[in-house]
Each structure stands twice: as C-alpha cells, then as structure tokens.
Amino acid sequence: MPTIGDPGRVLVIDVLEIVAEQARGWAGRSAAPGAVVDSWDGEQVDAVLSMVTALPEAEQMRCFVPRYALRLRDAAGVLAEIAFCFRCRNGAVVSFERAAWGPEWFAFDPDRPPALWLLSLLRTAAGAADGGVERWLR
C-alpha cells in the first residue's frame, strides 16, 4: 500500500484530473500533470486517506496512464501526490519531502470496494464543483 508519510499532517487534498495527453510519458518523477478540479478538507481528508490505505493489493500491469491524482497538502505546502491508473492497477506516490530518485510504485485491485469508492469520488469531483465526499463519510 502507498506510503503517505504522516497522514495527520494532511490538511487539504486537491483532486487532479489528468487527460491522457498529459499522462503519457509522465513517470512520476515530477509533480503530477493535470488540473485541480476539487479540494477536500476536514473529515473528508481522513475518509479519503482511509480509502487509499485500504486499497487491496493486486498484480501489477504496465500501461500507467493515470486519470486522477491526489495532492496532499499541509499549511506549508505540498507533502506528496498520489496518481492512480485504474486500468493497469498501478499507483505512484511522489513525495516532496524527501530526496528521491523516483516515485514509490504500488499496485491495487480496482475492482474491490475501496478502489470503486475512491474512483466514484474522483469522478464526482471531476464532474461537479462540490465534490461529493460527504456521502461516503456515513
């Protein structure tokens, strides 16, 4: 599962929507391409981070053309970004707190409930200004 540092430091999560042209060739060695389509804070942060850490592992595939990323921020700036490719089951964590040669890769099962819920939230965020994370807090 992805290592996201100290989740207690995350105050805001920005949702990035990445178009295919932006994702091709991006291998996680820099900030995720894409546009911020929504931001979540408060209880939403805890709920989303819980979903991310609950993603079940799966066999890795190879395409990695992520459509969405999460930008984790504290009061001082960006802590990390997590990009997801739901087709190839790959994710990449790019940390901005440590010197790293590249991203931390992980594989997840996109057909299991935590991944399906996360994908639904990301799609909702990309399609509506108000997000929709609150309904998943129940």
pLDDT digits (tens, 9 = 90+) for 14-37: 999 998 777 777 777 678 888 999
Domain assignment of residue 44, yes or no: yes
Which two tokens mark 108? 């997840």
Domain assignment of residue 91, yes or no: no
Residue 62 DSSP one-character state:
S
Do 56 and 1 form a contact (C-beta atoms < 8 A)? no
* Total domain count, the chain: 1
Angle at 86 (CA atoms; ends 31, 79), nearest 5 degrees: 30
Separation between Cα atoms, residue 103 and residue 66, nearest integer Å: 14
Per-residue pLDDT tens listing for the chain (138 residues): 566 667 789 999 999 999 877 777 777 767 888 899 999 999 999 999 999 999 999 988 888 889 999 999 999 999 999 999 999 999 988 888 765 545 788 999 999 999 999 999 999 999 844 444 444 333
Domain assignment of residue 92, yes or no: no
Element containing residue 43 per DSSP (H, E): helix 43-53
The backbone region for 54, taken as left when phi is positive above 0, alpha when psi lies in -120 to 50, beta otherwise, is: alpha
Q: Tell me which residue range forms the domain holding 39.
A: 7-75+106-133
